[in-house]
Structure 1
């Protein structure tokens, strides 16, 4: 076949021996690969069929809230989420206060390092106030809403 020839059904790119039947001259590993691919496809098809029927059987049960019953309202959920945030954030805040303290110690009079330590300490305090303030505000609003609604 020349460069500019367009392949036609009679002159395919793979030559005259290409067909759906495996020729007798091919190695045995090719037969094994094709057989293995057919087995894998049929296995996954069967697995998909059985797993799809199992999931519909499990779907017959009712839905249950995986969270505590105390998170049944939006204000209670927000207050609970902020409480978890505060519990996680307090040790991190304490760690960064210690780190900024070490930055003050290791500055040793270097004005640029002292400024960096001051900035770090101020940012830690601002972050702590934001987290604790959000928790306090959410708790106050949640308590007010609960009193107004009467739950």
Structure 2
């Protein structure tokens, strides 16, 4: 049974300006969850495309052309950028939805740990470096210089 099927029908519509009795009926909470789910699904789609390209490149083996390798590197870099942005955006928004950073950080729930983990894991290569390399590859045909970054 899906979540929608098990939920009781809402007691109020968004149009009449009132909220339901449960938080799951609040149109602002529903909007926020929709935004978070969309950001997640977009990141998954980009990662799947990069993963498929890497798998195809591995199957090709030593016959993989240098330009094809550069395209794969650009896709992987784009996936890293999109997922980093999504991870920070989603965890930040979850903290906001749980009652602001200060309250959530001091709660026993530990929601702030996920935000801190996302920030720490996404700071390895500055986003600007990846975006510049991606743009240079697609605009000028250069090969992403990912090896020059720490």
For Structure 1 versus Structure 2, the TM-score category normalised by the shorter chain is 0.3 to 0.5
The structure with the largest helix share of the pair is 2
Structure ID, larger Rg: 1
Q: How high is the TM-score relative to the length of structure 1?
A: 0.42
Q: How high is the TM-score relative to the length of structure 2?
A: 0.42
